Structure 1
Amino acid sequence: MKLINSFGPNPRMVRMFLVERGIELATEELDLLAGENRQAAYTARNPGGQMPALELDDGSVLAETTCICEYLDEKHPGQSLLGESLEERASNRMWTRRVELNITENIYNAFRYSEGLELFKDRLHCIPEAADGLKAKSRGQLEWLDGLMADREYVGGDNLGLADLVLYCCLDFAAGIGQALNPELKNIGAWFQRMEQRPSAQGSLHPSSAAVGMKG
């Protein structure tokens, strides 16, 4: 089994999960910035072309960050980041879905359609006129989440979950692409500082982050 890895906030989220769970995997590096993940050699293995991906021992490939993490969480014994009961696992998936659908995908697409347009215009269908609206939507959803986190240690409650890793890696990346967190969001700001102090935050950064000038 190996992780098909690269620079980027989504691969970083999986690496952060691996550090939190104490799981070690072999890796295969692809150059995301050069578009290696959009070439036929990779899309033959992962038709979606996104990064990262997990190649299993039988040669099959899993993509989508949360699917990769759920698979690894269930496969490896130890303290689960998904929760132990059916209710905990369902709540974890709910908050992860809310974060991805309402916040992180809007931030990423806004970047692809504006500041990152030159990089993505020949790789994806880009909608530049949608960028400002997506940024506004993510800001509004962050305000909504901030209002819920006054008495929470983590996004979903008292325990670290996938939603925290998804949101942290996105916001840390967003700070370098013109979408910094609003300093008035005190609850999320305090949560971000707590996440930043976890060993997995530094341990998950890709070696090329400093050269690229973005955290991924």
Structure 2
Amino acid sequence: MKLHTSIGPNPRVVKMFLAEKGLEMPFVKVDLMAGENRRAPYNAEVNRAGQTPALELDDGGTVTEITAICEYLEERQPSPPLIGATAEERAAARMWTRRVDLKVCEPMANGFRFAEGLPLFENRMRCLPDAAPGLKAIAQDGLQWLEGEFKGPWIAGERFTLADILLFAFVDFGGQVGQPLDPKYARLTDWFARVQARPSAAASA
């Protein structure tokens, strides 16, 4: 297998997941800034959606979308479980991953794409600049909600899971593009520091 990767929080999620699993594979770097992902051969042979990351399998097939890639890797190497070893654990991790994605990651990413990232994205996708402030506010609302729901030490409770990896990658990215984690969210700030101290955070940067 090999991973087609680039800059950005989405590829980082998979790279951090791999690091936590202790899995190694070749990385094929895709030049996102130059639009390599939006033209052949990448969007013809690897991912027709023109997005990264993409996991190229040994049989020539390809898995895209970060949660699908991580689910596949978990099935290939169940230990250590980053989604879950039981139906209950898997349900909890998937629930929190979905919540994190909808409430924080997706609005944060589009808030960036439609504002600071507009010069890069305006010719690649439909952009709604007027929506950027509202999307950023929605992401902050999501973080506020998480702060209130957080029981710790990790997003899904006692286990470090894909939900932590996903949120960390995007919160770290947000801090670089004008959407920092507000220090008033003390629980999430402490959580962020704990994730940042993990070797996988540095390995995936």
**Partner in structure 2 of residue 176 of structure 1:** 176
List, as ranges, runs of 4+ consecutive aligned residues in structure 1 with deviation greater than 6 Å.
none
Aligned amino acid, residue 67 of structure 1: A
**Partner in structure 1 of residue 144 of structure 2:** 143
> Which runs of no fewer than 5 residues in structure 2 stay unpaired?
none
TM-score (norm 1): 0.92
Aligned amino acid, residue 170 of structure 1: F
- 1:38 deviation in Å? 0.8
Taking the TM superposition and a 5 Å limit, the aligned residue runs for 1:64-103 are: 64-103=65-104
- 1:49 deviation in Å? 1.2
Aligned amino acid, residue 62 of structure 1: V
Aligned amino acid, residue 104 of structure 2: I
SS in 2 for 1:103: helix
SS in 1 for 2:55: strand
Structure 1's 71 and 31: CA in aligned 2 closer, same or farther, altered over 3 A?
same
Q: Distance in 1 between matches of 2:162 and 2:193?
A: 17
SS in 2 for 1:141: helix
Q: Distance in 2 between matches of 1:197 and 1:77?
A: 23
- 1:78 deviation in Å? 1.9
- 1:138 deviation in Å? 0.8
Aligned sequence identity (%): 50
Q: Distance in 1 between matches of 2:119 and 2:157?
A: 39
Q: Distance in 2 between matches of 1:90 and 1:68?
A: 17
Return 98-107 or 68-77, whichever deviates more.
Answer: 68-77
SS in 2 for 1:87: helix
1:1-31 deviation per Cα after TM superposition (whole angstroms, max 9, x unaligned): 1101111111111110111000011121110
Instruction: Tell me the C-alpha RMSD between the 2 structures.
Output: 0.9
Q: Distance in 2 between matches of 1:79 and 1:185?
A: 29
Contact 2:108–2:174, Cα closer than 8 Å, also in 1 = yes
Contact 2:78–2:85, Cα closer than 8 Å, also in 1 = no
Number of residue pairs matched by the alignment = 204
Q: Distance in 1 between matches of 2:79 and 2:157?
A: 20
- 1:77 deviation in Å? 4.4
1:38-85 deviation per Cα after TM superposition (whole angstroms, max 9, x unaligned): 113111121111110000111111100111011011102421101110
Q: Distance in 2 between matches of 1:152 and 1:77?
A: 23
**Partner in structure 1 of residue 41 of structure 2:** 41
1:72-129 deviation per Cα after TM superposition (whole angstroms, max 9, x unaligned): 1110242110111011101111110111111100000000000110010001110001
SS in 1 for 2:73: helix
